[in-house]
Structure 1
Amino acid sequence: MDPDNWQEIFNTLQKNKIRSLLTAFGVFWGIFMLIIMLGSGKGLENGVTSDFSGTATNSVFLWTRNTTKPYKGYPAGRRFRFNNSDIAAIYKNIPEVEYLAPRNQLSNNANSNNVVYKLKTGTFSIYGDYPDIRNISLVDIVQGRYLNALDIKLQRKVAIIGERVLQELFEKNELAIGKYIRVKGIYFKVVGVYKSRDKDDPDERRSKAINIPFTTFQKAFNYGDSVGWFSMTAKKGSSAAQLRKDVMVFLANRHQVDPNDERAFGYWNMEKEYLKISRLFDGINFLIWFVGVFTLMAGIIGVSNIMLITVKERTKEFGIKRAIGAPPSSIITQIILETILLTSVSGYFGLVAGVGLIETVAAVLIHLNVNSTMFANPEIDFQVAITAIIVLIFSGALAGLIPANRAVSIKPVDAIRDE
C-alpha cells in the first residue's frame, strides 16, 4: 500500500478517537490479563517446584523395615539390613540404575556435642557417603572439593562440611580447608565446604551436616558392612517407580523376604511427587490459556463488531470508490489493515504492560530478598510473547474479514444512494 492509503487509515481511526480507544482497550486488556496470568502461574510453579531443587527429581530412597509376611520358614516381624554386597549386586544386575548412593548416619543425642574444632563444639548430622550422592542430593561446592573415588578406596579421614558447620565452628573469613575437626574423638581433615540447593530448608538443616567417605565411616564407627539406606536415580527413559519395584524384588530375594511384602521396605519416590506437581501445573496452565484466550477473543470480537458499524457508516464512501474504479481487493485490504493496526498496536501495548509488570514484581522480590516456596521468579517465556503477537496479527486479520466482505458485497449504486 502507498502512503496515501496509510494516511487514510490513520485519518479514519482519528475521526472516531473515543470509539477507537475503547475498542483497542478490549484487546489491550485481553492480552494484558493473559500475560499477567501466565507470569503469575509461572511464578507459582517456580515457587512450588523449588521444593524439589535440592534433590534429583528421578530419585528413589529405600530402607528396610520389619517383614509383615512369613516366608521360607522365617516368621513375620523379622528385621533385615542392607549391606555392601547388596549395593554391588544392584549395580551389577539392575541396568536401569544411573546413580546409586548408600548412606549411613551416625546416631547422636541432639543435646550432646559430637564435633569439636579448637575450643568450639557443635551438634551436627554425620553421614557416610559415596561421591554419587552429589548427583542425588544436590549441593554446590563453595570451597575445596567433594568426596572422590580415592577417598572411598583409601578410606581417607577427610570430610566435607555444610555452610552452617562452617559458620558455627570457624571464625568469620577463616579458611576451613586443610583444618582438622574431631568427630566422636576421631580427627578428619576438611577438604570441602558445600551449600545445599534445597530452597525449602529455612533452618538450613541440610547444610548443618558433615559428610565423610562411606568406607571410612564404616571402619571408624564400627558399622561393619551395614548400609543404613540408599538412594538411586533411574536412567533416562526408565521409570523411577518401576526401578524401585525391580530393586525391592531383587533385594527381597537376596534377604529371604516375600517379594510381595512391600511393607518390608520403606521408600520415598521423588519422581512420583514431582510428576504430581507437574500434572497439576499442566492443568493450571491449560486453564490460564483457556481463560486468557477467550478474554482476548472477546476483545477481538468487539473490534470486529465496531468495524461492522464503521463499514455501515462508510457505505457511501465505499460505493463512490467502487464507482470510480477502485477494485474490491483494495477496499478489503484497507479494512483488514485497519483492524490489524488496531489489534496489533493495542495488543503490543498490552504485552509490554504485562511483561513490564511481571518484571517489576520479579525485581521487587529479588530486591526484598524474598525466598518463598509458594511464589518465586515470575517470568514470561520469549516464545510465548512471540506467539501472542502472531496470534494478535492473525486475529486482527480474521476480525476484519467479515466487515471487509460486507463492504464489497454492496453494489456501488446502492452504496451511493445510502444515507
Structure 2
Amino acid sequence: KDNWQEIFIALKSNKLRTALTAFGVFWGLFMLIVLIGSGRGLYNGATKAFKNIATNSVFIWARQSTKPYKGFNRGRRFHFNNSDIDALKENLTDLEYLAPRIQLGGHRATSTVSRGLKNGSFTTYGDFPEIINIRSVNIMNGRFINDNDIKDKRKVAVIGKRVKKLLFDDDEKYMGEYIKINGVDFRVVGLFGSYATGDDAERDEETLIVPFSSFQQAFNYNNIVGYFALTSVKGVPVSIVKDRALKILASRHNIAPDDTMAFGHWNLEKVYIKINNLFLGINGLNWFVGILSLLAGIIGVSNIMLIIVKERTREIGIKRAIGATPLDITGQIVLETVFLTTVSGYAGLFLGVSLLEIVSAVIEKYGKIEMFKSPEVDLQISLIAFAILVVSGVLAGLIPAKRAIDIQPVNAISVN
C-alpha cells in the first residue's frame, strides 16, 4: 500500500511531465497496433479473391502455334479435346484434381437464359464435379452436379443467386423447374452463392453450371475442351505439374517443345506466394516502425525516471539510512516505471484495437473498399505487444534503479 501511495505521489508531483512521458508510450503502442492491423486489412483485401479458389491451382488454355513443327506452319489454332482429359489423368502422377471446363460462347461471353417472359444474359459453364474443389461455391439449396449427371448427360443446372433472382419471384418455387439456356431446356437442381465479396461475388452469382457432357451435346461443342483447371497434391509445387501437363499437351497437339507461347497458363500458386512474401515484408516493416515508436516512448520513460531519481536523492538517502535495502529501492523504481508504461501502453492498445474495430465496422456497413478489408489484430499479437511493453518497462527502470542504489546515504542526506 505504501509503495502505491509513493508511486501516485511521485507521478502527481509533476503532472505535465508525467502526461507527456505517458503519451510517448501510449503513442508507440497505439501506432504498433494500428500499423499491424492496417497491414492485415491490406492483406485481407489483396487475398480475398483466393477465398473461393484453390491456392495450389493452375489454369491452362490453348492459343495458337508460334513456331513451325512437323510440317505444320506457325499460327495454327488448335483446341483441347476429351482424349486430353484421360491423357492428363493417366500421366500426371502428382495431380490432385483435374477439372476440364467450357464456357458457352468463349471467354467473357454470355448466354441468353430465359424462363417464360423473363430472360437475362449470364455466363454458362460446362463442368465436371471436381471443379468445386478448385473453384468452390456455397451450395445454398439442392445439390451440385455429380458423376451420374456426367455419365447420363443429364440436362440439369446449378444456378447462381442473381440468376434465380432475375428468373424467379422471391416466393416462387425454382427447384425442379425448367429454364432455357440458348433455347435448350435445363432443370434447376441447385442454387449457389459466392464465397467472394463485392464485384467478384456478383460475377460468380451471375453464373450457371451444367454437366460437361450435357454442355457439349446441347450446344454442339462435340469433344472440345475450353481449358483445364488442375491442382497438385500437397507438398508438390503446382508449377511442376503444369510443366508436365504442357509437355503432354504439346506432344498430343504437335506443338514444338520450345513453343512456350502456344499455351496460355495462369499459376495461382505463384501469385499467392508473391502476395504472401510482399505482405511478409510489409508486416515486418510495420513491426519495425511500431517497435521503434514504442522504444522511443520507453527511452523517454527511462530518462524521466533518471530525473525523478535525481530529484529524490535526499529521500532515497533517508530510506537507505533507516534500513531500506538496495532490493527495496530497485523494486520501488522499477515498479513506478512498469506502472507508468503499463497503464499508458494499455490505453494505446485499447484505443488502437477500438479504432480498428470501428474502421472495420464502417467499411463493412457503408463502404466497398476492395483492397482493404477487416483490419484486425489477433489476440496473440496483442498479448505479444503487451508482453513487450511490460518487459520494456522493467528494462527502462533498471538504469534509474541502478543510479538510485548507487546513492550513498550520508551524501544523499546532505543534498538540499
Q: Provide the residue aligned with 1:391 in structure 2.
A: 388
- How far, CA to CA, are the matches of 2:394 and 2:114 in structure 1? 74
Identical-pair percentage: 54
Letter matched to residue 3 of structure 2: N
CA drift at 1:44: 1.9
Q: CA deviation at 1:330?
A: 0.9
State whether structure 2 residue 40 is matched by structure 1 residue 45: no
1:160-191, CA deviations, whole angstroms, 9 ceiling, x for partnerless residues?
Answer: 11122112211223221100112233211100
- Measured in 1, the distance between the counterparts of 2:214 and 2:360 equals 46
TM-score (norm 2): 0.94
1:136 to 129, 134, 137: 134
Gaps of 5+ in 2: none
Q: Which residue of 2 aligns with 1:230?
A: 228
* Aligned match of 1:214: 212
State the Cα distance separating 1:112 from its structure 2 match: 9.4
What is the CA-CA distance between 1:301 and the residue it aligns to?
0.2
Matches within 5 A, 1:12-411: 12-107=10-105, 114-199=112-197, 201=199, 204-368=202-366, 370-411=367-408
Name the SS for the 2:64 alignment partner.
coil
| 1:279-300 deviation per Cα after TM superposition (whole angstroms, max 9, x unaligned) | 2222221111111110111000
1:308 Cα deviation after fit: 0.3
Question: CA deviation digits over 1:78-105, x for unaligned, max 9?
Answer: 2232122211222222122222110112
SS of residue paired to 1:123 = strand
* TM-score for the superposition, normalised by structure 1: 0.94
Query: How much has 1:406 moved relative to structure 2?
Result: 0.8
Aligned length: 416
Task: Select between 157-166 and 41-50 the one with higher mean Cα deviation.
Answer: 41-50
- Alpha-carbon distance change, 335 to 203 in structure 1, aligned in 2, over 3 angstroms: closer
Output the amino acid matched with 2:79: R
CA deviation after TM superposition for structure 1 residue 61, in Å:
0.9
* Closer/same/farther in 2, CA of residues 315 and 111 from structure 1, 3 Å limit: closer
SS in 2 for 1:124: strand
Q: Classify the secondary structure of the residue corresponding to 1:261.
A: coil
- Mapped partners of 1:109, 1:340: distance in 2: 63
Q: Distance in 2 between matches of 1:334 and 1:20?
A: 17
Give how far 1:111 is off.
11
Displacement after TM superposition at 1:307 (Å): 0.3
Q: Deviations over 1:274-333 (max 9, x none)?
A: 222222222221111111110111000000000000111111111122222211111011
Contact 2:342–2:390, Cα closer than 8 Å, also in 1: yes
Uncovered stretches (5+) of structure 1, i.e. residues with no partner? none
- CA contact under 8 A between 1:114 and 1:122: conserved in structure 2? yes
- Show CA shifts across 1:135-157 (max 9, x none): 22221112211111111122211
Return the alpha-carbon distance in structure 1 between the equivalents of residues 107 and 252 of structure 2.
Answer: 34
